[in-house]
Chains A and B, each alone.
Chain A
């Protein structure tokens, strides 16, 4: 019985890296977008709309990085 342990290890490592990377990038982007958020008088959050330019730039880069990983995933699906 042949078990491809090396392939299994690669699956584990690559899956871990890809999933964690996507989640980390998205999380960082959301924190960056939160940067300028304040609470208004009625308790609502101003949220992403008031994020600083730097925050929006960082968020864009992080979403872009996550998007590239997702696009590579789509490429694997389609190929």
Chain B
């Protein structure tokens, strides 16, 4: 195995790790916010379920880019550049506490790297629209509407119920719904990295064409995403659990049930949607379902901006990384060292105002408006 292939494998596993802690919030933010689960218990549960989920479905994609770029132009250098773009965007948005799609970051990185290596003609722009732009717009709206409806029904039906019974019942139910989302995430996201590593090995002839992922690839990807998930992306958990709206247990349950339903249905019908965008939309919908005016719509604006920037930003970094790494082994080393340095800087910035399991819920409740209440 060449240096670049080993570098790609290590970088892919690092991406998988960042994917893990970036997406912990999707499953567990509401359960932590409502104290249905203690923070560390929640992230460990999510880690275990991601690990299990990764083994449940090892049918990886037949192409690295999902049709976004001409796969005949993808080389290990292109993959490496794309992964660097995706990792750095994941780390930046984590530092800013913004949930964003790791899948779109990877697509963006690959697009940028492929553009540098093979020109714009290798990019399938119509597929970018249908597989990235359209889901980006539609998935949070669909999930938000469903979350809103589910929350409305939850409050209307339980209005005459005993508060203590209802609250406890929804907290227990949240654990089930959150676990479903975590399991679904493990079956979907670890496969991206399995596919990248497997297809890289096929490209360099280490595996025959059409091979499935070897066990060591499955295990290492499962472990990487599980470890990342268990670390807990506390900044993003805080944003999704506390900064969108003051979430109560009925809302948390409705949001996670909506997310699980949309994610599983779309996966079943072959319609790829971002787990992050779906879960974020569900939480906004659940917030609006109880009281429209208590939702921090300014947070939605920041997220939307970050989502729109994900593809181009990761593409730019991916392009730069691929251009430098394409010069040879020295270039690859320069990019790797540079990536580690930037990542180290981001982690150092995080430590200045760290969000941990101890203070993740320490956010002042958004001030609700006195008018415009619903449900």
- Which residues of chain A have a CB within 8 Å of any CB of chain B? 1-4, 7-8, 10-12, 14-16, 18-20, 22-24, 26-31, 33-34, 37, 44-45, 47-48, 70, 73-74, 76-78
In the assembled complex, which residues on chain A have CB atoms less than 8 Å from the CB atom of B151?
23
Partner among A7, A15, A27, A77 whose Cβ is within 8 Å of the Cβ of B261? A15
Give Cα A59–Cα B119 distance, bound, in whole angstroms.
61
Main secondary structure of the interface of A (DSSP, over half): helix
8 A Cβ contacts from B217-274 to A:
250, 253-254, 257-258, 260-262, 264-271
Number of inter-chain CB pairs below 8 Å: 132
Instruction: Write the chain B residue with the least CB distance to A45.
Output: B164
Q: Are A74 and B266 in contact (CB under 8 A)?
A: no
Give Cα A47–Cα B264 distance, bound, in whole angstroms.
34
Give Cα A75–Cα B146 distance, bound, in whole angstroms.
22
Q: Are A45 and B150 in contact (CB under 8 A)?
A: no
Which 4 residue pairs spanning A and B have beta carbons closest together?
Answer: A34-B162, A37-B162, A27-B157, A19-B261
Give Cα A74–Cα B260 distance, bound, in whole angstroms.
10
Q: Are B169 and A26 in contact (CB under 8 A)?
A: yes
Chosen A-B contacts, 20 in total, with CB atoms closer than 8 Å, are: A1-B126, A2-B130, A8-B271, A10-B265, A15-B142, A18-B265, A19-B147, A19-B254, A27-B157, A27-B161, A29-B169, A30-B158, A30-B165, A30-B169, A33-B169, A34-B162, A47-B168, A70-B176, A73-B180, A77-B187
Give Cα A28–Cα B159 distance, bound, in whole angstroms.
11
Q: Are A28 and B157 in contact (CB under 8 A)?
A: yes
Give Cα A30–Cα B269 distance, bound, in whole angstroms.
32
Give Cα A37–Cα B146 distance, bound, in whole angstroms.
31
Q: Are A73 and B271 in contact (CB under 8 A)?
A: no
Give Cα A33–Cα B158 distance, bound, in whole angstroms.
11
Partner among A28, A74, A76 whose Cβ is within 8 Å of the Cβ of B267? A76
B302 to chain A, nearest CB (A): 26
In the assembled complex, which residues on chain A have CB atoms less than 8 Å from the CB atom of B269?
7, 10-11
Q: Are A77 and B176 in contact (CB under 8 A)?
A: no
In the assembled complex, which residues on chain B have CB atoms less than 8 Å from the CB atom of A34?
160-162, 165-166
Q: Are A47 and B146 in contact (CB under 8 A)?
A: no
B99 to chain A, nearest CB (A): 20
A2 to chain B, nearest CB (A): 7
In the assembled complex, which residues on chain A have CB atoms less than 8 Å from the CB atom of B262?
11, 15, 19
Q: Are A26 and B253 in contact (CB under 8 A)?
A: yes
In the assembled complex, which residues on chain A have CB atoms less than 8 Å from the CB atom of B323?
none
Q: Are A77 and B146 in contact (CB under 8 A)?
A: no
In the assembled complex, which residues on chain A have CB atoms less than 8 Å from the CB atom of B165?
30, 33-34, 37, 45, 47-48
In the assembled complex, which residues on chain A have CB atoms less than 8 Å from the CB atom of B164?
37, 44-45, 47
A21 to chain B, nearest CB (A): 9
If A27-B157, A77-B57, A77-B264 touch, whether A20 touches B166 (CB-CB below 8 Å) is: no
In the assembled complex, which residues on chain A have CB atoms less than 8 Å from the CB atom of B261?
14-16, 18-19, 22, 73
